[in-house]
Amino acid sequence: MHNRFFLYASLAISCWSYSCSQGVTQSKTTENTTAATSTQTATEVSKVWVADQGDGTYNNPIIHADYSDPDVCRVGDDYYMTSSSFNVAPGLQILHSKDMVNWNIIGYALDYNTPIEHFAKPQHGNGVWAPAIRHHNGEFYIYWGDPDYGIYMVKTKDPAGQWEEPVLVQAGKGLIDSCPLWDEDGNAYLVHAYAGSRAGIKSILVVNKMSPDGTKLLDDGVMVFDGHDEHPTVEGPKFYKHNGYYYIFAPAGGVSTGWQLVLRSKNVFGPYEEKIVMDQGNTSINGPHQGAWVNTPSGEDWFFHFQDVEAYGRIVHLQPMKWVNDWPVIGVDKDGDGKGEPVMSYKKPDVGKTYPVVTPQESDEFEGNGLGLQWQWHANPKATWAFATGSKGALRLFTDQLPEDYKNFWDVPNLLLQKFPAETFTATTKLKFSPNPKLQNERTGLIVMGEDYAHLSLVSKKDGIYLAFNTVDDAHKSTPESEQLLDKLNGNEAYLRVEIDKGALCQFSYSENGNDFKKVGNAFTAVPGRWIGAKVGIFATREDKINDAGYADYDWFRITPNTSSTFQSKK
């Protein structure tokens, strides 16, 4: 068992523990419910999306979840991925693969967002943008741009272990999407883009000289590319050197509609030639761009990129790549013009061996002393929000007071969430609620979170515990929730469920015995958050300030295939 701790505010307190176990945990006694067949292990194979077809081929996406702006590096026979994590904590999830198709989460590079107090409140769409992961002189480095504070770096010798504290490489507004390059002569460089919302300028790429230790920039930078005319919103650059050329791989044209641009030059500061090396072509994969070039030990070349699929976020695809006249061609070039289009299925990379099928973690039985690595908080957490106790086989969430400026759950930091793992799936959780008898309106439950959201919760009243279904449109505009107070529970235990169907249609339901589920209202259509896909998870809140809290014990949280295809459309 590997435990991760992160600090909150300036207090030197252990705040939370995340489990990295590679072993198999014992399953709970099977519950009498259709969702109870899942056994939590760190290498459990998803029941809702597997890219590896088992016959030497794979289907895209390789990860059907919101790992936005993915970057990948290879070290020996191992591949490591990270992605944008924006405002959530812990951030910069680290995924590992042996074959580029099968991935699982092994840790985090960022325990909490900095400045810590600033990110104690949800900072939607802010924080960690478009990271780059590299291995240099025996250490792993990750660089990213925070659009409000500047370019940061973290490093470690063990990507599954503890990473060092973030270093502010360059302070400044609007500095984003940074990527380093260490040259053969010992010099180091960094390429980055600008966020127009902060810098007042965008669609340009700048290269700076960087100290060899990677901790600071040494000059004001040289603009090496201006995309205003032909490649608007050029950003997300990745820096490489190959066959005597410096290459900058950069997306352009917008998140959902863009293309993959590559620049090359014999001089690090240019001038650079340009070429579009992949676009949507005649495929259904919109905006195939922004990601990572990697190769295999045998010399094959591959490219990772995202596809924006709205409520499901920016999911990860893998494309074959080849070099033609010192230009990369990504995907399949059907007409021979040097520009490829993405594939939906393909032969797996030749890595010399066949490895077991693994997928990013989803379900959690809460049997260890830490959460599964799929969980992230809505903001930097407090130590008092949650305690995973393996001896009790449950996750205890204590209710936390709603923020003083609370309008709806868009403002609430203590939401424990994970990414949508597939186009269709079911999330079910079993809980026992023990509210503080001195309080009313303590609440805990299951939520689908985005700019619109819905949650099914248990709420305490004078005469007992009730079920409530709450929805809100345009949460980011401070719209108040609409609540339907449902049945009164006979006791204090319940099973809460949400089924997600095509089009991100979400049907909530509940049960008191784990057998008979009663649907709640009409289906809710999930939508993205700020730069992210919708998420699903749990929470516990209260309205009052008091010296003690009620709590909810979550026995398990399970992701399974849909059990019903009956959905009522939202009115």
Mark whether 69 is an active-site residue.
yes
551-560: strand order across its sheet: 386-389, 394-398, 551-560, 425-434, 493-501, 505-511, 518-525
What CA–CA distance (Å, rounded) separates 341 from 60? 13
Of the candidates 235, 362, 364, 555, the residue annotated as catalytic is: 235
CB 374 within 8 A of CB 362: yes
Which residues, other chains included, contact 151 with Cβ-Cβ below 8 Å and sequence gap of 6+? Answer: 143, 144, 145, 168, 169, 170, 172, 175, 178, 190, 192, 217
Over the Cα atoms of the chain, what is R_g?
24
Which residues, other chains included, contact 268 with Cβ-Cβ below 8 Å and sequence gap of 6+? Answer: 181, 183, 189, 207, 246
CB 405 within 8 A of CB 521: no
Helix/strand/coil for 238: strand
The H-assigned helical ranges of 32-146 are: none
Instruction: From residue 315, give the alpha-carbon distance in Å to each of 10, 229, 308, 310, 312.
Output: 35, 29, 7, 10, 7
Nearest to 532 by CA among 315, 363, 359, 374: 315
Nearest to 506 by CA among 489, 487, 525: 525
Paired residues of 553 in beta bridges: 396, 432
What CA–CA distance (Å, rounded) separates 190 from 134? 12
Pairing of strands 150-156, 104-110: unpaired
Mark whether 367 is an active-site residue.
no
Of the candidates 31, 44, 66, 69, the residue annotated as catalytic is: 69
Nearest to 450 by CA among 506, 524, 520, 530: 530
Q: How many helices and strands in the chain, by DSSP H and E?
A: 1, 39
Catalytically annotated residues? 69, 235
